[in-house]
Amino acid sequence: NKGLEITLSGTPFRNKDFTWDATGNISVNRNKVLALGPTGDPIFSDGGAGTTHVTMVGQPIGAFYGYKMLGVFKTKEELESYPHLADTQVGDVMFEDVNGDQKIDADDRTIIGNNMPDFTWGMTHSFTYKNFDLSVFAMARYGQTINSDLLGYYTAEQSVTKNQLAGVDYWTEDNRDAYFPKLHHYSVNGSNHNTSSRYMLNAAYLRLKNVTLGYTVPSSLLKKVGIARLRVFVQGENLLTLTPMKVKFADPETLGNMTYPINKKISVGMNLTL
């Protein structure tokens, strides 16, 4: 395991009325398995929600492991011309024949993601102009993959907790270019539910975490009413998130949490000293 963290702080500009302070940090962490016991055999574990993790030599600890999704079978001709699992139908997932043996089986599973980001970045800029102050904090992660329970289980199942999602681009006769396979019950066809890259989300993101704008009332005005200091401010949290994730309501910062998503928040307050 190797890690590196760099923090830089400075004041890019300062004069009588205006000051700009900035602090930035970036952290990088890498882990790779170098050896596994006397045999070196991979270690598999069930991560829940149809996800399998593997620890193997040369890979990060607990990487996501499964089939690579190439797309969805659009036509009967396409299905008949490419290897597939026995119960696969038109509209179901097309898995990559990784070893090239013209069949799809457990030997075609491979590394499909890693939940450790390549780097995490954060930056705070603080500005003051006379009695006004402004603070902006943003953060980002890159190179992180997360498992989405809903993408794995959006088809109709018996459990009431696994209902069909609205707005998902799934395959139908009129939507053959869809990203996700057609809807059907697990008992009808289980091939779509094999652990695969269709469960995975590119969880890179850039988030505007906090913006605060304040104003400090001049002391000359406060002395008349017996107040030593008064600052009023408006603050916004989680105002903007940029991410390529296909499930926009999943939160990349909390590893795809969809039960308690991070909310935008705007508040107004004051700091009063008597």
DSSP state string for 211-236: EEEEEEPPHHHHGGGT-SEEEEEEEE
Q: Quick one: pLDDT at residue 23?
A: 97
Radius of gyration of the chain (CA): 26
pLDDT along the chain (274 residues), means of 10: 90 95 94 85 69 83 90 93 90 93 92 88 97 97 81 50 62 86 64 80 92 94 87 96 78 71 90 89
3-class DSSP state of 155: coil
Report the run of H or E that residue 7 belongs to, with start and end: strand 2-14
Q: Quick one: pLDDT at residue 161?
A: 46
Q: Quick one: pLDDT at residue 248?
A: 65
Q: Quick one: pLDDT at residue 133?
A: 98
pTM: predicted TM-score of the whole model, two decimal places: 0.78
Q: Quick one: pLDDT at residue 151?
A: 61
Burial class, 121, CB count within 10 angstroms (exposed 0-12 / middle 13-18 / buried 19+): middle
Q: Which residue has the tokens 């850039």?
A: 206
Q: Quick one: pLDDT at residue 8?
A: 96
